[in-house]
Amino acid sequence: MKILVCDDSVINRQIIGGYLHQMGHKAIYANNGKEAIELFMKNEPDLVLIDVEMPGMDGYEATRAIRESCNDFSQWTPIIFVSSYIDDQSIVKGIEAGADDYLTKPVSAAVLRAKIHAMRRLAAMRENLIDFGKQLRDVNEKLLNSNQLLSELSLKDPLTRLGNRRAFEETLSRDCRIAVRSGESVCLLMIDIDNFKIFNDTYGHQAGDYCLQQVAQVLKQGIHRATDFASRYGGEEFAILLADTPIEGGIHVAERLRVAVQALQIQNTHVPAGIVTISVGVACSKAGSEFASEALVAGADAALYEAKEAGRNCVRSEKKLIDEAFSKNLEAYKKSRRFAGTMPSSSSKH
């Protein structure tokens, strides 16, 4: 062990140093309390033996300063007071100053050995606690990372790596709340790959998966703001949320994405276009108005139906901005627009 010995008496330092040398320990010597603090900071000893009475800064004050320099439990170092005073008041004062034990003068080699052994035992227990604490922190960190990964995976579509239906619904709910609170609008694009069943029947499901991945990549690359969100809504249908975006902006993004998917030139020979295309329905909330998220989806899905009816590979938008009145009359709206059934677009022609 590396042991700091602080005593203003040269004789006492020599006696204690001789004992420590015989026991195989290394002694570092300080003449006073101030020097003891400096050597403690510089050498980080395993044990401190410090005299109580010293000129200038006594052992009590030096011990308090040493304890204050230790920021946490991992920096704890055992301190033993060495003094000829063994009355209760002196011992209590020493313990309150931060000492862990008391050694009376003249120092006995046998008692010193026993005290050092006890302090080593305490130090070993401390090290075990520190190691156990580190292990707990490591396990906790791994659990947090695993939980974060599981959380991310639970919101990702495994095939396209876009957000899944659950992620879409959570983001939709959040964006709608923000739009109502801030008085801004939110735009929703419902996107469907045209004639995807024919593609699957012609080229097989592996090719179908590859097609979904390619289209998803185009959609992901086609949105540029951190607040924009792309997801796989289900099957060959996708959804894109554009926060703080008017209807004109939503139509512009939708048309850009339609052109980008067409530019992939993925063959689908049994359809008129001869390649994979998409149809897009766009709906937008009315800025500064209350509205329901379900109504926004209904509007975009109905617009998607119109795009399918118009011959596919095109963009159609819900002309009426989604507001409170639209939301309250959602059922009547569904019937008027041949929007039957529940979401998603069960009446869409794929």
Pairing assessment for the beta strands 47-51 and 2-6 based on DSSP bridges = parallel
Contact 56/30 with Cβ under 8 angstroms? no
Pairing assessment for the beta strands 2-6 and 26-30 based on DSSP bridges = parallel
Q: What's the half-sphere exposure (Cβ side, CA atoms, 13 Å) at 294?
A: 11
Q: In the 8-state DSSP scheme, what is residue 275?
A: B
Residue with tokens 């049994």: 270
Residues labelled as active-site residues = 236
Contact 326/320 with Cβ under 8 angstroms? yes
In terms of residues, how long is the chain? 350
3-state secondary structure (DSSP) of residue 101: strand
Q: In the 8-state DSSP scheme, what is residue 131?
A: H
Burial class (CB in 10 A: 0-12, 13-18, 19+), 325: middle
CA distances from 30 to 33, 107, 108, 127 (A): 8, 17, 20, 27
